[in-house]
Each structure stands twice: as structure tokens, then as C-alpha cells.
């Protein structure tokens, strides 16, 4: 397997460095995604610098998602107007302001402002960074490099879970801000996307960039392929309605909506935000909630790392299907346990089943459903509408996350806890079937070849599975 060979780092080191520096903001975003879990108990304490009511705590969680919606128009505009690289740097500046606002907060409005600014940062960064990665990466390792952004986010969640309970809010803010500062200092030395440079007719600069990224002077064939793709894609209109009116773009949108919807309605956000409650209701004494909160994202990181290392070897679709099956079974197991408990069965001696199922869930969900979508979304849209497509993907991601969490809370309020897991299990199984039928395999394909598949050129159909 190529990515495991020592030569991988010498042949692709330039791409790897650019991707790592371009995704440092994802670590910061991961810290902010998990920030409320260890921080709200601190804000409730008598010596908290900010006194808060319960409703203000709820708004503190919601405003992060609100920031994501505010960031959508910036994502659409900046990525094509100033380029992928500058958009990433702009997002980092906004994120630093957010962390500073939280770090110096002496009232709740500073916290609100910080959460909104960091939500804006996450939306812009998770639109620009995947596009940047997909356009600088060689097709043989594009899936591996694209998956790194999710690994970075998981690292951020682990960091905040590890330090959050034991350091001040100001200290954790300094850590998050420092990551973005490192990116602002080092990432400017990295190249802009050769696709974008050719798109704005900076041909000589694009050739130099591609030689640097490929560590090879023989890039004439790839340059010509990119130029041909740019010429064709420039001939296509880039209006927002073209995301739905052009058949290939409409297929890309439907696939993207399916993938982003599936990961959240498989319950990933609900479990991340309610893990302590689930373990406590199960009566599990296998491990304390604080330790489980570290083990859970750690297993996610390990699983996502394995998926990232194998996505260009095994393919995107097989990871999605295996992940869908494992996730469905674990959700069904958790639901069955709580159903038996609600019916009066003595489940005390078997509470370890919940801990095991939840940890298998962490492995299963991150093996495919929560790692492959960002890889494929960056591959599916042509250059002319890629910014709008990625922004739409992010909108669906945010909306699905909010809706799934609300659905989980509403079901638990009106019915038994087991019902929510049965619902998530059913939706996950249904989505896995749709993925098998309609999602194409993009492993080893150039971005141009993927467009040809979506356009159904030369008899290739959407569910092409030749690779």
C-alpha cells in the first residue's frame, strides 16, 4: 500500500506539509465543538468569571451553530474571489478574535460573540480547506489527505476534553488561539491551489506550484488535464441555480445531502453531546463518565486514522458501507438494551454492554460515515460551482446536526430513550442502502473523470463500481 511506504513522505512531503498547515484551524474547531462539555460546569461554579442562567447556557451552545450559518455567504464569496489559501487565513483571523473574546470574557455577551465568531471560522474553514486539499493533492492520495481535516478536528476534541476540566477557560482559549497563530505564521509560505491559479490565468505560477507539490518537473500532462478541465468548467455557468438545474451538479448535490444527512441522523452529534447521560442511565460502572469522554473521541481518532490511511486503497464506498452496517448494529444494540431496561428486565449485571456498544459505535461511525463525506464532497463539484457546493454541503451539515440533536431530545422527552436509538438505527440502515445504490466510487479518479461519471458520459452510470 503506497501511503505506508517510506517513499510516500519523500514523494508527497510538500503536499502533506501544505495540508497539515492548512488544517490547523480544524484542531481549533474541534476544541470549540467540544468546548461546552467541560466549560459549562466551570461557568456554573461560584468562582466563575461569568454568571449564567440555564437559558443562557442553552444559547451558548446554539450560537456556535448560528455562527456557522453566518459564515455561509462568506464561504460562497471568498473561496472564488480571493482564493482558497487566503480564505483559510481569513478564517483563522476571525477564529483568533473568537478565542480572545472567550478568554477575556467577564460577561455572557463576550462568550456569545466568541462562539459566533468561531462558528463563522469553522464554516469558512471547512469549506475552503477541503477544496484546497482536493485541488493540490494527487489523485492517488487525495482521499488520504482530504481525511486529515477530520483527524485534526478529533484531535481538537480530545485536547479540550483532556485539558478543559482542569484548566481555566482563559488557558484553554490561549491553546486554541495559539494553534491559529501558528497557522497564520506558517501557512502563508504554502502554495495556492494550482486549479485556482489556472482559473485566474496565472499559468506560470501554477506550473511552479505543481512542480513543488509533485516534487517532479514532469507535470506537463497534469497541467494540460487541469487546463482542459478549467476550460470546460468555465464554459458552464456558475449561478447558484445551476447547482440544481445542471444534471451533474444536481446529482452531486443529492449525493452530498445524503452523505451529510446520514452521519448526523446516525446519531453522532447526539451521542457526543449526551454520552455522560447515556452511560449514567444505563447504570454502567465499567468506566467513569470523565474517562469515557476521553476514550470515546480517542477511539474515533484511531478509527478515522485507519480510514484515512485506507480510503485510497479500499475505496470510499466500501468504507461507507462497512461503517453503515456497524453503526446500525450498535445503535440497535443500545436501543434494545434500554428497551429491556424500561420493561423491567434486570440489566444491572449487563450494563457493560452499553459501554462496549458505545465504543464500537465510535469506531464504526468514524470508519466511514463521518470521514468519507468530506472527502467525496470536495471531489464531486466542478470548479465553477465548487465554492457554492461546499457551502451548501456545510449548510446541510449544520442543519442536520441541529435537527438530529433536537430530534433526539424531543423523542426522549416524549417517549423512552430506546426509541431514539431505534429511530437512528432505522435511518442509518435506510441511508446505507441508498449509498449502495446511488453513491459512485471515486477512488483513483481525476476530478475531471468524476465529472464525466456524474454527466453519465460514455455509458458510465452514477453507481459505477469498476474500481
pLDDT value, residue 151: 81
CA distance 38 to 44: 11
- The backbone region for 358, taken as left when phi is positive above 0, alpha when psi lies in -120 to 50, beta otherwise, is alpha
- 369 with 261: CB under 8 angstroms? no
CA distance 83 to 137: 16
Q: Count other Cβ atoms within 10 Å, centred on residue 425.
A: 22
Radius of gyration of the chain, Cα coordinates, nearest whole angstrom: 22
Predicted confidence band of residue 2 (pLDDT cuts 50, 70, 90): very low
Report, as an integer, the average pLDDT of 314-326: 91
pLDDT value, residue 269: 80
Report, as an integer, the average pLDDT of 271-288: 72
CA distance 339 to 345: 9
In this predicted structure, the answer to whether residue 394 has a pLDDT above a threshold of 80 is no
pLDDT value, residue 463: 43
Predicted confidence band of residue 175 (pLDDT cuts 50, 70, 90): very high
pLDDT value, residue 13: 82
In this predicted structure, the answer to whether residue 459 has a pLDDT above a threshold of 70 is no
> pLDDT for 15-44, tens place per residue?
899 999 999 999 999 998 888 878 877 887
Q: Which residue has the higher pLDDT, 89 or 438?
A: 89
pLDDT value, residue 10: 61
Q: Which residue has the higher pLDDT, 335 or 351?
A: 335
pLDDT value, residue 184: 96
CA distance 148 to 20: 8
- 25 with 88: CB under 8 angstroms? yes
**Alpha-carbon distances, residue 289 vs 272, 276, 285, 431 (angstroms):** 12, 5, 9, 31
Domains and CATH numbers, the chain: 1-190 (1.20.1250.20), 242-461 (1.20.1250.20)
**Alpha-carbon distances, residue 136 vs 87, 174, 191, 298, 379 (angstroms):** 15, 31, 9, 29, 12
- 383 with 338: CB under 8 angstroms? no
Report, as an integer, the average pLDDT of 394-407: 82
Report, as an integer, the average pLDDT of 264-276: 80
In this predicted structure, the answer to whether residue 233 has a pLDDT above a threshold of 70 is no
Interior CA angle at 267 toward 263 and 121, to 5°? 60
Q: Is 258 helix (H, G, I), strand (E, B) or coil?
A: helix
Q: Count other Cβ atoms within 10 Å, centred on residue 203.
A: 13
CA distance 201 to 80: 13
- 321 with 435: CB under 8 angstroms? yes
- 370 with 268: CB under 8 angstroms? yes
| pLDDT above 90: percentage of residues in the chain | 28
The three three-digit cell numbers of residue 463, written as one number: 453507481
Highest average pLDDT, of 135-139, 285-289, 372-376, 428-432, comes from 428-432
> pLDDT for 417-457, tens place per residue?
899 999 999 999 999 999 999 888 888 787 777 878 887 75
Residue owning grid cell 484531535: 155
In this predicted structure, the answer to whether residue 320 has a pLDDT above a threshold of 90 is yes
Residues found in the chain? 467
Predicted confidence band of residue 462 (pLDDT cuts 50, 70, 90): very low
Q: Taking all residues of the chain, what is their mean pLDDT, rounded to a whole number?
A: 83
pLDDT value, residue 464: 42
Report, as an integer, the average pLDDT of 222-235: 79
**Alpha-carbon distances, residue 320 vs 105, 257, 365 (angstroms):** 42, 15, 9
SS (HEC) of 150-166: HHHHHHHHHHHHHHCCC
CA distance 107 to 109: 6
> pLDDT for 179-228, tens place per residue?
999 999 999 999 999 988 988 889 889 899 888 888 877 888 888 888 88
Q: Count other Cβ atoms within 10 Å, centred on residue 241.
A: 9
In this predicted structure, the answer to whether residue 461 has a pLDDT above a threshold of 80 is no
pLDDT value, residue 244: 80
- 324 with 431: CB under 8 angstroms? yes
Helix, strand, coil % over all residues of the chain, rounded to 5: 80, 0, 20
Residue owning grid cell 462496549: 356
In this predicted structure, the answer to whether residue 374 has a pLDDT above a threshold of 60 is yes
Predicted confidence band of residue 4 (pLDDT cuts 50, 70, 90): very low
pLDDT value, residue 3: 46
Give the containing element (helix H, strand E) for 357. Answer: helix 352-367
Amino acid at each position: 500500500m503506497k501511503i505506508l511506504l517510506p517513499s510516500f513522505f519523500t514523494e508527497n512531503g510538500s503536499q502533506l506539509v501544505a495540508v497539515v498547515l492548512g488544517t490547523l484551524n480544524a484542531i481549533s474547531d474541534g476544541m470549540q465543538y467540544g468546548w461546552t462539555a467541560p466549560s459549562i460546569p466551570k461557568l456554573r461554579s461560584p468562582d466563575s468569571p461569568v454568571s449564567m442562567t440555564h437559558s443562557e447556557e442553552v444559547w451558548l451552545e446554539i450560537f456556535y451553530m448560528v455562527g456557522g450559518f453566518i459564515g455561509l455567504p462568506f464561504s460562497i464569496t471568498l473561496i472564488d474571489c480571493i482564493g482558497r489559501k487566503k480564505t483559510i487565513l481569513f478564517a483563522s483571523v476571525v477564529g483568533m478574535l473568537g478565542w480572545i473574546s472567550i478568554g477575556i470574557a467577564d460577561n455572557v455577551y463576550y462568550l456569545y460573540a466568541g462562539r459566533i465568531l468561531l462558528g463563522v471560522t469553522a464554516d469558512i474553514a471547512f469549506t475552503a480547506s477541503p477544496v484546497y486539499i482536493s485541488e493540490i493533492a494527487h489523485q492517488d492520495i487525495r482521499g488520504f489527505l482530504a481525511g486529515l481535516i477530520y483527524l485534526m478536528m478529533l484531535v481538537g476534541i480530545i485536547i479540550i476534553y483532556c485539558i478543559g476540566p482542569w484548566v481555566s477557560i482563559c488557558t484553554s482559549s490561549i491553546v486554541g488561539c495559539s494553534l491559529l497563530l501558528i497557522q497564520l505564521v506558517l501557512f502563508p509560505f504554502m502554495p495556492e491551489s494550482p486549479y485556482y491559479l489556472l482559473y485566474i490565468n496565472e499559468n506560470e505560477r501554477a506550473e511552479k506550484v505543481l512542480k513543488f507539490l509533485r516534487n517532479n518537473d514532469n507535470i506537463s500532462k497534469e497541467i494540460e488535464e487541469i487546463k482542459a478541465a478549467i476550460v470546460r468548467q468555465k464554459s458552464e455557468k456558475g449561478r447558484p441555480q445551476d447547482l440544481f438545474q445542471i444534471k451533474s451538479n444536481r446529482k452531486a448535490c443529492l449525493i452530498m445531502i445524503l452523505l451529510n444527512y446520514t452521519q448526523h441522523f446516525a446519531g453522532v452529534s447526539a451521542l457526543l453531546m449526551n454520552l455522560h447521560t447515556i452511560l449514567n442511565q444505563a447504570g454502567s460502572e465499567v468506566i467513569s463518565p470523565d474517562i469515557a469522554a476521553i476514550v470515546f473521541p480517542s477511539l474515533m481518532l484511531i478509527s478515522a486514522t485507519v480510514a484515512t490511511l485506507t480510503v485510497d486503497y479500499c475505496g470510499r464506498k466500501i468504507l461507507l458501507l462497512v461503517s453503515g452496517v456497524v453503526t446500525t448494529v450498535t445503535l440497535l444494540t443500545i436501543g434494545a438494551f434500554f428497551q429491556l431496561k424500561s420493561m423491567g428486565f434486570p440489566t444491572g449485571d449487563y450494563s457493560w454492554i452499553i459501554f462496549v456498544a458505545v465504543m464500537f459505535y465510535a469506531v464504526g461511525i468514524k470508519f466511514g460515515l463521518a470521514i468519507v463525506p468530506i472527502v467525496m464532497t470536495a471531489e464531486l463539484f466542478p470548479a465553477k460551482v465548487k465554492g457554492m457546493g461546499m457551502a451548501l454541503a456545510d449548510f446541510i451539515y449544520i442543519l442536520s446536526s441541529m435537527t438530529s440533536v433536537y430530534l433526539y431530545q424531543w423523542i426522549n422527552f416524549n417517549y423512552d430513550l430506546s426509541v431514539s436509538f431505534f429511530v437512528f438505527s432505522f435511518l442509518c440502515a435506510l441511508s446505507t442502502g441508498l449509498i449502495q445504490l446511488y453513491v459512485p466510487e471515486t477512488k483513483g479518479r481525476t476530478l475531471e473523470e468524476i465529472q464525466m461519471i456524474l454527466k453519465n458520459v460514455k455509458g458510465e452510470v452514477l453507481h459505477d463500481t469498476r474500481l
